[in-house]
């Protein structure tokens, strides 16, 4: 019997080539030159992930057989007794993805082949068209159409729109200000305009980002029904998911949910009762490829499709993992894509490529992506970005906190 390949070290690589704090985990092995990369990016609390890996997971994992991915995931998840939180899940995800990367490299196969093989050649993506008014939104939609995109998310003024300083109460604290009622009305106007000028050949999406009270979210879903959205994303906060039953009774607008989910109990009921149409989890925040593949299979039995979270605060390693899941899942729906810069591609050689609306992998073994650690070190993370006026600090006109 051949000697098992074991984990010899687990390293955290922190880098921010685009000013967004990214966490990449590197798992080194007893086989010379063999290592794997995983994404554990929790941008808003990236140092907690680094601490979880450096001070807890590393010593627990050293010496374990890299082939035992499932056992390592299960034991690591319960090792702290308390579990299903974003920091520990991201730390676990970085290790889990890295082990899948190693498994592919050992087999000489892309990870999608280990997950059952391709069900498609590429993954259709959507990108974000924003603007200060309906005409600028339309212009940006047309730009993406010219690039071959078939799915486009429309926003106006960012999440929840924006309000001017003049319309706010005096002496209000810093934050991302919006008016829920104005936002809901303006969103309907956006889709009325874009559908009337663009037509019905393009799939349109919208992200509420939990900016509305539940009954207002139901009303918006109903008012958008005639514009045939591909889906309405995160219309409710995770604490209010019981309202999806009411939304389902009132509207046929497809629903996507799950960006903030960390615990299986948050999605099992929604899927089994067919209250959502797309699962939107940030796969590193639920623990990596291992739980995400199980979630995709569970969704398949209820005709729920995948639409994994894919913004700039997912590292290219995480985007690669998303793509391998997309290609190997029969119930794939669409993939969010943010458009990496040239510098990101230099730091992360092998980053997936977008061509005419479809995201393509390379055929390299594993996740097919690497990191230039010397170049990554030139772009240090900045903890001062966690400031009070971040987009996560949503407030209404009177200064009251609102759930982002």
Query: Which two structure tokens, joined as six digits, stand for 48?
Result: 């907690």
183 is annotated as an active-site residue: no
Give the separation between CA 22 and CA 285, rounded to whole angstroms: 13
- Sheet bearing 7-15, strands edge to edge: 7-15, 22-29, 35-39
What's the chain's Rg over C-alpha atoms? 21
**Residue tagged active-site, from 46, 126, 159, 183:** 159
Q: Looking at the DSSP assignment, which residues form a beta bridge with residue 336?
A: 126
Taking alpha carbons only, the member of 296, 293, 321, 287 closest to residue 77 is 287
Residue 364 burial by Cβ neighbours in a 10 Å radius (0-12, 13-18, 19+): middle
Please say whether the beta carbons of 37 and 31 come within 8 A: no
Query: Which two structure tokens, joined as six digits, stand for 195?
Result: 């559908």
Residue 340 burial by Cβ neighbours in a 10 Å radius (0-12, 13-18, 19+): buried
In order, the DSSP letters of 71-105 are: HHHHHHHHTTSS---HHHHHHHHHHHHHHHHHHHH
Query: Which two structure tokens, joined as six digits, stand for 321?
Result: 């993992």
Please say whether the beta carbons of 200 and 214 come within 8 A: no
Q: Looking at the DSSP assignment, which residues form a beta bridge with residue 278?
A: 256, 305
**Residue tagged active-site, from 206, 209, 282, 309:** 209
Output the CA torsion 64→70→75→81 (10° steps): 150
- Quote the crossing angle between the two packed helices 289-300 and 86-107, to the nearest 10°: 90
Strand segments (E) across 41-157: 123-129, 151-154
181 is annotated as an active-site residue: no
In order, the DSSP letters of 242-280 are: THHHHHHHH----EEE-TT--SGGGTHHHHHTT--SEE-
Please say whether the beta carbons of 36 and 27 come within 8 A: yes
Active-site residues, by number, are 159, 209
């Amino acid at each position: 019997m051949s000697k098992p390949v074991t984990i010899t070290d687990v390293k955290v690589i922190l880098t921010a080539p685009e000013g967004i704090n990214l966490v990449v985990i590197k798992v080194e092995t007893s086989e010379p030159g063999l290592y794997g990369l995983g994404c554990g990016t929790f941008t808003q609390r990236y140092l907690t992930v680094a601490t979880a890996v450096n001070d807890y997971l590393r010593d627990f994992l050293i010496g374990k057989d890299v082939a035992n991915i499932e056992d390592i995931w299960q034991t690591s998840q319960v090792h702290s007794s308390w579990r299903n939180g974003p920091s520990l899940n991201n730390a676990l995800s970085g290790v889990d993805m890295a082990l899948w990367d190693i498994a592919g490299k050992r087999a000489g196969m892309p990870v999608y082949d280990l997950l059952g093989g391709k069900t498609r050649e590429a993954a259709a993506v959507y990108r974000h068209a924003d603007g200060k008014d309906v005409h600028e939104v339309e212009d940006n939609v047309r730009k993406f159409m010219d690039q071959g995109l078939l799915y486009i998310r429309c926003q106006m003024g960012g999440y929840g729109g924006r309000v001017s300083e003049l319309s706010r109460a005096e002496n209000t604290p810093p934050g991302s200000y919006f008016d829920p009622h104005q936002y809901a009305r303006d969103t309907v106007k956006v889709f009325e305009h874009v559908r009337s000028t663009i037509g019905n050949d393009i799939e349109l999406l919208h992200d509420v980002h939990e900016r509305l009270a539940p009954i207002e979210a139901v009303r918006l879903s109903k008012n958008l029904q005639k514009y045939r959205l591909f889906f309405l994303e995160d219309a409710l906060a995770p604490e209010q998911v019981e309202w999806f039953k009411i939304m389902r009774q009132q509207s046929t607008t497809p629903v996507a949910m799950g960006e903030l989910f960390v615990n299986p109990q948050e999605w099992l009921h929604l899927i089994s009762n067919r209250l959502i149409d797309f699962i939107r989890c940030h796969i590193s925040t639920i623990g990596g490829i291992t739980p995400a593949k199980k979630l995709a299979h569970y969704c398949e039995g209820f005709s729920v499709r995948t639409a994994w979270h894919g913004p700039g605060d997912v590292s290219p390693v995480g985007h690669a993992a998303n793509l391998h899941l997309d290609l190997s899942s029969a119930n794939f729906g669409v993939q969010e894509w943010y458009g990496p810069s040239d510098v990101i591609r230099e730091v992360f050689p092998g980053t997936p490529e977008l061509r005419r609306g479809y995201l393509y992998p390379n055929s390299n073994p594993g996740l097919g992506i690497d990191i230039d650690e010397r170049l990554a070190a030139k772009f240090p993370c900045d903890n001062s970005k966690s400031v009070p006026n971040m987009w996560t600090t949503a407030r209404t006109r009177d200064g009251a906190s609102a759930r982002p």
